[in-house]
Amino acid sequence: MPEAMPEAQCVQIYLNGMPRQVARGTSVAAALLLHAVPCRESVKGTPRAALCGMGICFECRAVINGVAHRRTCQINCLDEMRVETQR
C-alpha cells in the first residue's frame, strides 16, 4: 500500500490479527495477495490463494469476521474487517 494514499481512500482490516491498510474497493482476495497471506491451507497444510477470481473455484475461502468458507474474491474489504487464514 502506498504511503501517500489519503486516509479517506483506505480501509483498515486485520489479516491474521495484523492491522493492514488497503485501498477502498479492494477485494479481500487482493488484500491477502498484496500482503502475502494465504486464504486457507489445504488438508496437507499447503498455503492456497485465489485462483479464478470470479467466484467459481472456491480456492479463495477464508474466515471473515468469524464466518468460515467466505469466498474472498467476491467480498470487498470493509473497515475493521477481520480476515483469518482458514485452517
Place of cell 479517506: 8
Q: Does residue 68 interact with ligand FES by CB under 6 A? A: no
Query: How many of the chain's residues bind ligand FES (CB under 6 A)?
Result: 13
Choose the binding region for ligand FES from 3-11, 13-21, 52-60, 76-84 (rule: CB under 6 A): 52-60
Q: Annotate each residue in 2-41 with x if it binds ligand FES (CB under 6 A) or - if it does not, as one string.
A: ---------------------------x------------
What is the end-to-end Cα distance of the chain in Å, rounded? Answer: 26
Contacts of 29 (CB under 8 A, 6+ apart): 39, 49, 50, 53, 60, 72, 73
